[in-house]
Amino acid sequence: MSFKNLLGYYGSGVMFYTIEDNKIFVLLGKRKNRPCKKKYSLIGGGYNKYKDSNLLDTAVRESYEETHIIVEKEKLKKIWSFNFLFHFSTYCYRLNKKENILDYDDEFDLIQWFEIDKIPKNRCYFINKYCKRIKKLSL
């Protein structure tokens, strides 16, 4: 996807996380396509004017479509938002435990859990920023 294709784009994503044995884990997917092809990224996608009334709805819908995780909208916490030429909001969502994601969307080669400080280097550039915000929330 070129920058030109992002003009007017609206979307949102979710960084799922959990805490086990005093360690924070995040759920990331290795993308098959652009943007961030072959890199680990968050779960998310574009706003659908026929299905979503706002970007929170987009986050809930995309989470279910891509992972089959049911998200309670009121528990989403916004951790980042970009609004210049295109708009993207990122939310975090804490799960009680690491869910095994066996059936996932074909946008990903793989979806898996990583300890927050041990995420592979082949990740989208914005993942570090999101992880810092999740660490602050988890203190």
- Write out pLDDT tens, residues 43-62: 999 999 999 999 999 999 99
Mean pLDDT, the chain, integer: 91
pLDDT for position 49? 93
How far is the CA of 118 from the CAs of 33, 47, 58, 111, 113, in angstroms?
23, 31, 29, 15, 10
**Which pLDDT value is given to residue 35?**
81
SS3 assignment for 106-120: CCEEEEEEEECCCCC
Share above pLDDT 90 across residues of the chain, in percent, rounded to a whole number: 77
How much is the pTM? 0.90
Superfamily (CATH H level) for 3-138: Nucleoside Triphosphate Pyrophosphohydrolase (3.90.79.10)
Domain edges within the chain: 3-138
The tens digit of pLDDT for each residue in 16-30 reads 999 999 999 999 999
